[in-house]
């Protein structure tokens, strides 16, 4: 990894911590720069403005999760439980997405990139056509519900947020309940 890439990585790590803690509106570029051990003008040269920095932090965490947890339409319950584990392992992801929803896009699609979920929706549609998944739920709705089910115990939970320190038996119980619910709801 070159020096420029190392600097960008430090900036994104500092920005992630700042945005997770304070959101977009409360985050301060001077704190990000100080944490990243870079001056503000260099920071702007690397990533642009604060909005671009926020977008880069979100994109980094979303891409990492998609890379760690690829969609498996042939095992949708397993996908949901792996996503539960990903949310548990990376609380920054959910916090960044919550801030994005609160401060940027309170309704509609969370991502502004056209067809951000296009590949997943296409795979779910193919599975519906093949008879693997229920046909009476639109794939966009199925995708939204699947993501929400996997996030039942994530940081945005209205009832109970999972913690990595919770007993293993509790995580197993949640994974089993999640897998059973997804299977009953979406798998033929």
The count of residues in the chain is 188
For residue 110, the model assigns a pLDDT of 85
Say if CB 71 and CB 123 are below 8 A apart.
yes
For residue 35, the model assigns a pLDDT of 96
For residue 117, the model assigns a pLDDT of 87
Say if CB 87 and CB 154 are below 8 A apart.
yes
Distance in angstroms (rounded) separating the CA atoms of residues 36 and 126: 45
Alpha-carbon torsion 44, 104, 99, 112, what sign? negative
Distance in angstroms (rounded) separating the CA atoms of residues 115 and 157: 27
For residue 179, the model assigns a pLDDT of 98
For residue 96, the model assigns a pLDDT of 94
For residue 114, the model assigns a pLDDT of 62
Can you list the pairs that 55-59 forms with residues at least 24 positions away whose Cβ atoms lie under 8 Å?
56/12, 56/15, 57/12, 57/15, 57/16, 57/19, 57/96, 58/96, 58/97, 58/100
Distance in angstroms (rounded) separating the CA atoms of residues 148 and 135: 19
* pTM recorded for the entire structure: 0.88
Distance in angstroms (rounded) separating the CA atoms of residues 71 and 6: 30
Structure tokens at 121: 């929706």
For residue 167, the model assigns a pLDDT of 97
Say if CB 30 and CB 39 are below 8 A apart.
no
Structure tokens at 23: 């959101």
For residue 47, the model assigns a pLDDT of 86
Ranges of the chain whose pLDDT falls below 50: none
Distance in angstroms (rounded) separating the CA atoms of residues 162 and 171: 8
Please name which of 84, 91, 103 lies closest in space to residue 17, comparing C-alpha atoms: 91
């Amino acid at each position: 990894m070159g020096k420029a890439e190392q600097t960008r990585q430090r900036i994104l790590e500092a920005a992630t911590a700042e945005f997770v803690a304070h959101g977009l509106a409360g985050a301060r570029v001077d704190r990000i720069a100080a944490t990243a051990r870079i001056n503000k003008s260099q920071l702007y040269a690397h990533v642009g403005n604060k909005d671009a920095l926020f977008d880069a932090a979100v994109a980094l965490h979303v891409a990492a999760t998609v890379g760690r947890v690829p969609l498996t339409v042939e095992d949708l319950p397993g996908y949901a439980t792996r996503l539960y584990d990903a949310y548990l392992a990376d609380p920054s992801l959910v916090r960044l997405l919550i801030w994005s929803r609160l401060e940027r896009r309170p309704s509609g699609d969370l991502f502004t990139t056209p067809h951000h979920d296009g590949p997943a929706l296409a795979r779910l549609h193919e599975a519906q056509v093949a008879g693997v998944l229920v046909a009476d739920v639109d794939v966009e709705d199925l995708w939204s519900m699947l993501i929400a089910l996997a996030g039942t115990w994530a940081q945005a939970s209205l009832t109970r947020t999972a913690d990595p320190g919770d007993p293993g038996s509790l995580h197993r119980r949640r994974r089993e309940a999640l897998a059973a619910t997804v299977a009953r709801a979406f798998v033929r």
